Amino acid sequence: MDDNVGTGGHVPVMLERVLELLAPALAGPAPVVVDANLGLGGHSEALLAAHPALHLIGIDRDPFAIEFSTRRLSPYADRTTLVHASSGDLAEVLDQAGRPVIDGALFDLGVSSPQLDEAERGFAYSYDAPLDMRMDTSQELTAERVVNTYPARELARILRDYGEERFAQRVAGLIIRERAKEAITSTKRLADIVRDAIPAATRRTGGNPAKRTFQALRIEVNAELSALEAALPAALDALTLGGRVVVLSYHSLEDRLTKQALTARTKDTGPPGLPVPLPAHQPRFRLLTRGAELPSDEELARNPRAASARLRAAERIRVDD
């Protein structure tokens, strides 16, 4: 990874808004925040600089991200704990760090800029590279294995559920036929197969037709949605009174899971019509955003990759007795 990445060219998404939302929760004498998707450490660096008493726990499944952020955050080494793990292991990470209660949590979901920009990682359909897509390069499952070994029904399910590909059956069918001739091992060949499977009229709009298939494979390889389903509730459970969570998502599946998790904890769950609300059923959290906030036009001009970002945030207002 280029040492210059993340300091000059990389701009953390919606950074000012993230800092603004988390600041009230980090005003105490010894606040703790967890960055569940550390990436290049841009958000973490800004949080550490803004809050001199802050201890930051950074989690990332990509060893390159841990290596890079260790260097980037070295001026704050005595206030950081960086862990190579899946965000889905957030509860265990906090327990092992001796920080079971936290003041803030940040989720910056999706794929990082270096993963997209380093052709050999195989995340992007714009490069011809090996079909890899692993965030954690030590794991066994790769996109190549998924494409060449999963049965047609399972491939179609992944493309439909994770890529929201309406031609999932056609794409899966052509993949099965083409891999029978020769194993599909490159991003270019897969992108060509997807393009051939999509009707010509549809290919004329909506950008590269391979986008949805590549998203679906990346989510499957890295178990991204199951990690979020485990990590976000764990972070919410760990938040102290007044603690806040901020989530940046980049496609509708992530945003939907985030909305569901936050909404479930901001509703009164008691029976309707009671004259007095039952304390045990009152909301534990309140929403800090109205719907999903979008990046500003100014940010999009600086950082076009922020275009798909959706931000949601919540604050803990009650703790269980």
For position 277, what pLDDT does the model report? 64
Nearest C-alpha neighbor of 34 from the set 65, 55, 17: 55
> To the nearest whole number, what is the mean pLDDT of the chain?
90
For position 126, what pLDDT does the model report? 65
Report residue 128 as tokens: 């011809």
Confidence of residue 128 (pLDDT cuts 50, 70, 90): confident
Instruction: Write the CA distances from 196 to 3, 17, 89, 226, 277, integer angstroms.
Output: 39, 42, 39, 31, 58
Confidence of residue 110 (pLDDT cuts 50, 70, 90): confident
Secondary structure, 3-state, 296-321 = CHHHHHHCHHHCCCEEEEEEECCCCC
Q: Directed axis angle between helix 211-222 and helix 224-238, to 10°? A: 60
pTM of the model: 0.88
Task: Please state, in angstroms and rounded to a whole number, the distance separating the CA atoms of residues 101 and 91.
Answer: 10
Task: Please state, in angstroms and rounded to a whole number, the distance separating the CA atoms of residues 188 and 125.
Answer: 7
Nearest C-alpha neighbor of 48 from the set 73, 11, 17: 73
For position 209, what pLDDT does the model report? 85
Q: Confirm if 1 and 64 have CB atoms less than 8 A apart.
A: yes
For position 271, what pLDDT does the model report? 67
Minimum mean pLDDT range among 27-36, 51-60, 159-168, 193-202: 193-202
Confidence of residue 207 (pLDDT cuts 50, 70, 90): confident
Question: 119 or 107, which is more confident?
Answer: 107
